Amino acid sequence: MDVIDRASKHVRRFLCGLHGHDALLHFEQGRLSLICASCGHETPGWDLTGAPPRAPEPAAAPRRLVRLPLLGERRVA
């Protein structure tokens, strides 16, 4: 039975990968999140207790800007 449960879980996740999660609102004490009705995936959610928000994750390192040399004026004969 364990093998069948794992296989069905993989199939549900595969179907969600094809056309997206079936998101439903999920309420807990002091917390709100979205949970998928098909595969059980849950978002990080929102804290409703009024606690200060978490610090955002640091941004990725800025990309290096590459400047191409400009062409001179084009002369037409």
The predicted pLDDT at position 9 comes to 80
Element (H, E) at 34: strand 31-36
Does residue 72 have a pLDDT over 80?
no
d(CA 40, CA 35): 6
Start-to-end CA span in the chain (Å):
82
* This model's pTM is above 0.85: no
**Paired residues of 11 in beta bridges:** none
Q: Coil, strand or helix: which one is 31?
A: strand
Ordered by start, the domain boundaries in the chain are 2-47
- The predicted-structure confidence for 22-69, as pLDDT tens digits, reads as follows 888 888 888 899 988 888 888 888 888 876 766 767 767 777 766 666
Does residue 8 have a pLDDT over 80?
yes
With CA atoms as reference, report the closest residue to 43 among 26, 56, 29, 59. Answer: 26
